[in-house]
Amino acid sequence: MPLYLIRHTRVAAPAGLCYGQLDVPLADTFAEEARAVRETLAHQFPAGLPPIWSSPSLRCRSLAETLDAPFRLDPRLRELNFGDWEGRTWVELDSP
């Protein structure tokens, strides 16, 4: 069975922010981007979407909720936790 991976839509976070598991807000373009994903998937799967699993993070869960199909949240799909780096910029962290 093929596996299809869909990345979340853009987020409203400063460029270069390390956000791993940090729940950052979605970009203002979320509705437009989610619509494009839905349309692409509708063409790819005209008979209906295959099973959907999503990370529980806001950026992933929000997209899954717009797909008009049942989905499951699985915490194992969360992004890596960057610990003390979460919420800091890569520039701040670029030191020995």
Tracing tokens 């460029």 back to the chain, one arrives at 15
What is the model's pLDDT at position 96?
60
Element (H, E) at 91: helix 90-93
The torsion angles phi and psi of 88, rounded to 5 degrees, stand at -105, 155
Query: CA-to-CA distance for 61 and 65, rounded, in angstroms?
Result: 6
CATH topology of domain 17-93: Rossmann fold (3.40.50)
Q: What is the pTM of this model?
A: 0.86
Structure tokens at 35: 């619509």
- Mind listing the pLDDT tens digit for each residue in 1-22? 788 999 999 999 999 999 999 9
Q: What is the pLDDT of residues 18-74, one digit of tens each?
A: 999 999 999 999 999 999 999 999 999 999 999 999 999 999 999 999 998 999 999
Contact by Cβ (8 Å): 61, 94: no
Q: What are phi and psi of 69, to 5 degrees?
A: -150, 150
